[in-house]
């Protein structure tokens, strides 16, 4: 292995590092992280498991002698503080918008001494988003929302129902939709069913945090306030994870919202 010894305590960081071809730097990941496909070729063994992303085994992390520890999200504030107390070099990211997510790819590259790879990944993702923007109808160069765009409700949690925030409003707009429930950069929040019903929905997208794609769409479709709106279930990593998986999710959304104009 060349480069720093990296422990990733965030699935999004693990996915980003792997996407830029730097999986060989990873010596430890949480059990919530998807193992990098190429890690086995780069190490004598796969990256060591170090527990959960909000309750990692920091004694185990210490034995791995990391040069860098990657974290993400405000929910890891206590983890970040504990890591810094142990003297770890923590590189923390808390993206709130799609622009933040894209900027984070380059930042992760710098954190693992692969700056050029991070910049290349960010540029490639921006190119993919440009192709989506060119394909979907209703684009507005001024940054406004064209009336032709379908109204989309994205549900990150179902008990109680919560509309997805952070970068998801940006993702819906990038995919050619309208999202009147949460402003970009705001946290996810519980919704008023009457307000959702009054929005005259065209699509419902369910991506329940931590459930992957293991959600029965009928449990959402049967709600009175959903009506006859089609319900789509996406793997939660495609919209909840601020990694290149989010670009996959935007492409998937564009295909759902505009099947005649865009094919992922």
Structure tokens at 201: 């929905």
Instruction: Look at residue 3 in the predicted model and tell me its pLDDT.
Output: 78
Q: Kindly tell me the number of DSSP H helices and DSSP E strands found in the chain.
A: 11, 10
68, containing H or E segment: strand 68-72
Count of CB atoms situated within 10 Å of the CB of 188: 19
Instruction: Look at residue 264 in the predicted model and tell me its pLDDT.
Output: 85
Structure tokens at 170: 């940006």
All residues at 6 or more sequence positions from 245 whose CB lies less than 8 Å from its CB, including other chains: 12, 15, 237, 238
What's the distance, CA 115 to chain centroid? 21
Assess contact for 104 and 10: CB atoms under 8 A.
Answer: no
Nearest to 240 by CA among 111, 56, 53: 53
Q: Give dist(CA 251, CA 132) in Å, integer.
A: 7
The order of strands in the sheet holding 90-93 is 48-49, 26-29, 6-8, 68-72, 90-93
Taking only Cα atoms into account, the Rg of the chain, rounded to an integer number of angstroms, comes to 19
CATH node for 148-257: 3.40.50.1980
Which residues, in sequence order, are bridge partners of residue 8? 29, 70
Instruction: Look at residue 34 in the predicted model and tell me its pLDDT.
Output: 85
* CA 7 to each of CA 17, 20, 62, 96, 133: distance values in angstroms, whole numbers, following the listed order: 11, 16, 10, 23, 36
Whether residue 160 has a cis bond before it, omega within 30° of 0: yes
**pLDDT tens across the length of the chain (264 residues):** 467 999 999 999 999 999 999 999 999 999 999 877 654 444 444 899 999 999 999 999 999 999 999 999 999 999 999 999 999 999 999 999 999 999 999 999 999 999 999 999 999 999 999 999 999 986 555 555 554 799 999 999 999 999 999 999 999 999 999 999 999 999 999 999 999 999 999 999 999 998 888 889 999 999 999 999 999 999 999 999 999 999 999 999 999 999 999 988
Give, rounded to a whole angstrom, the gap between the first and last alpha carbons of the chain: 35
CATH 3.40.50.1980 range(s) for the chain read 6-127, 148-257
Strand 203-206 and strand 6-8: the pairing is: unpaired
Strand 189-190 and strand 68-72: the pairing is: unpaired
Instruction: Look at residue 146 in the predicted model and tell me its pLDDT.
Output: 53
Phi, psi dihedral angles at 162 (to 5 degrees): -130, 130
From the options 3.40.50.2020, 3.40.50.1980, 3.30.830.10, 3.90.600.10, give the CATH code of 6-127: 3.40.50.1980
- Please tell me the pTM assigned to this model: 0.91
Assess contact for 203 and 152: CB atoms under 8 A.
Answer: yes
Instruction: Look at residue 142 in the predicted model and tell me its pLDDT.
Output: 53
* CA 224 to each of CA 21, 196, 197: distance values in angstroms, whole numbers, following the listed order: 47, 11, 9
């Amino acid at each position: 292995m060349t480069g720093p010894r990296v422990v990733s305590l965030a699935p999004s960081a693990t996915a980003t590092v792997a996407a830029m071809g730097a999986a060989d730097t990873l010596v430890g990941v949480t059990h919530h992280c998807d193992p990098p496909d190429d890690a086995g070729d780069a190490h004598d063994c796969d990256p060591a498991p170090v527990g959960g992303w909000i309750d990692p085994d920091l004694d185990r992390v210490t034995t791995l002698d990391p040069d860098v520890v990657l974290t993400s999200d405000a929910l890891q504030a206590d983890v970040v503080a504990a890591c810094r107390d142990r003297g770890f070099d923590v590189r923390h990211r808390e993206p709130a918008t799609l622009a933040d997510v894209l900027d984070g790819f380059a930042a992760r590259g710098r954190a693992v001494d692969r700056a050029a790879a991070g910049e290349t990944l960010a540029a490639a993702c921006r190119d993919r988003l440009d192709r989506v923007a060119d394909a979907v109808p209703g684009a507005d160069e001024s940054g406004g929302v064209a009336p032709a765009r379908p109204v989309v409700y994205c549900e990150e949690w179902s008990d109680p129902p919560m509309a997805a925030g952070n970068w998801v409003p940006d993702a819906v707009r990038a995919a050619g939709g309208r999202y009147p429930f949460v402003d970009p950069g705001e946290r996810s929040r519980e919704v008023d069913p009457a307000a959702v019903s009054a929005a005259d929905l065209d699509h419902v997208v369910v991506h329940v945090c931590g459930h992957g794609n293991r959600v029965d769409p009928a449990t959402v479709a049967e709600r009175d306030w959903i009506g006859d709106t089609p319900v789509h279930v996406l793997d939660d990593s495609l919209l909840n994870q601020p990694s290149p998986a989010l670009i996959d999710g935007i492409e998937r959304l564009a295909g759902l919202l505009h099947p005649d104009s865009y094919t992922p």
